[in-house]
């Protein structure tokens, strides 16, 4: 794939966490607490009794991959621009893919839950992460799904992912990806990225490596991932000052797609909607 200008993604993520914690960037209580935790654990990882470490190379690899993907609609797509991740997006990706277990090198977090306002690139970000998990996550026979209760919503993530693959011949060539009408397939090992519809818990959930909806976990996989990225609604309460801090084993991120869940967002002092992020380890 085409070369891109290298950026210090891990440093950008750390700076974002510092700005949120200090109040330079307005954020809700949940994000401030997670920024504080992120910074504290960067120091704590040096202790022998702390079971996790932050792998800069793994975190930055995902960011580089996504920034090689093209925009799929709007003025940036017309100009054939590639995705340029914002600091908050880099922080999400670095937290999700950077924290690993010292004992195994496997990812610490398995569930990502993100709420952001409309027009913040949820689908493009999710599509990029999905393509990474299909092509470059190191899972043989990977299964990645964009899921929702109806086909139209499920395509909100799969469609941009498919367009990204179609418009990036180097990606398809490097990883042997076949672009079909309703699926992306890595031919060598039958890895696939496709849509899935139905209600969570309906007994139809497949074994997955990345799912962009609430469809459970798969113990047969080394690093299964579940993500839910949702849109903040206009009827969200203004004051969420009593919002709980992240539970142990929870914090911020790992793939996604979206149903409306307005009650989980909160307003900043500036009146803008804050991003809420929760990470959960399911093991």
pLDDT beneath 70, residues of the chain: 1-4, 199-283
Residue-level pLDDT at 180: 96
Residue-level pLDDT at 179: 96
Residue-level pLDDT at 7: 93
Q: Where would I find the H helices in the chain?
A: 9-22, 29-44, 56-67, 74-78, 87-98, 122-135, 151-166, 169-175
Residue-level pLDDT at 256: 29
- Tokens 């997670």 appear where? 34
Residue-level pLDDT at 270: 29
Residue-level pLDDT at 110: 85
- Expressed in angstroms, the distance from the first to the final Cα of the chain is 35
Residue-level pLDDT at 268: 32
- DSSP line for 43-99: HHTTSTT--EEE-HHHHHHHHHHHHTSBP-SHHHHHTTPBP---HHHHHHHHHHHHE
Residue-level pLDDT at 202: 53
Residue-level pLDDT at 134: 94
Residue-level pLDDT at 200: 54
Residue-level pLDDT at 21: 96
**Which residue, 82, 63, 70, 91, is CA-closest to 7?**
63
């Amino acid at each position: 794939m085409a070369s891109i200008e290298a950026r210090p993604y891990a440093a950008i993520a750390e700076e974002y966490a510092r700005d949120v914690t200090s109040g330079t960037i307005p954020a809700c209580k949940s994000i401030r607490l997670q920024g504080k935790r992120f910074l504290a654990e960067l120091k704590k990882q040096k202790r022998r009794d702390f079971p996790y470490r932050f792998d800069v190379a793994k975190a930055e690899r995902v960011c580089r991959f996504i920034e090689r993907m093209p925009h799929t609609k709007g003025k940036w797509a017309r100009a054939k621009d590639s995705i340029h991740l914002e600091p908050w997006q880099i922080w999400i990706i670095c937290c999700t893919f950077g924290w690993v277990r010292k004992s195994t090198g496997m990812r610490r977090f398995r569930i990502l839950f993100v709420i952001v306002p409309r027009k913040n690139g949820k689908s493009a970000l999710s599509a990029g992460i999905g393509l990474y998990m299909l092509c470059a996550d190191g899972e043989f026979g990977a299964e990645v799904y964009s899921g929702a209760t109806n086909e139209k919503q499920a395509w909100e993530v799969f469609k941009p992912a498919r367009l990204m693959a179609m418009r990036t011949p180097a990606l398809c060539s490097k990883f042997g990806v076949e672009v079909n009408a309703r699926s992306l397939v890595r031919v060598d090992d039958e890895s696939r990225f496709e849509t899935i519809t139905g209600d969570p818990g309906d007994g139809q959930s497949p074994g997955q490596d990345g799912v962009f909806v609430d469809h459970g976990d798969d113990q047969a996989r080394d690093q299964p991932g579940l993500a839910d990225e949702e849109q903040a609604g206009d009827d969200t309460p203004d004051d969420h000052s009593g919002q709980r801090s992240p539970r142990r084993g929870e914090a911020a991120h790992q793939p996604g797609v979206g149903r409306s869940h307005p009650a989980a967002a909160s307003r900043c002092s500036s009146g803008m909607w804050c991003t809420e992020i929760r990470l959960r380890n399911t093991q």
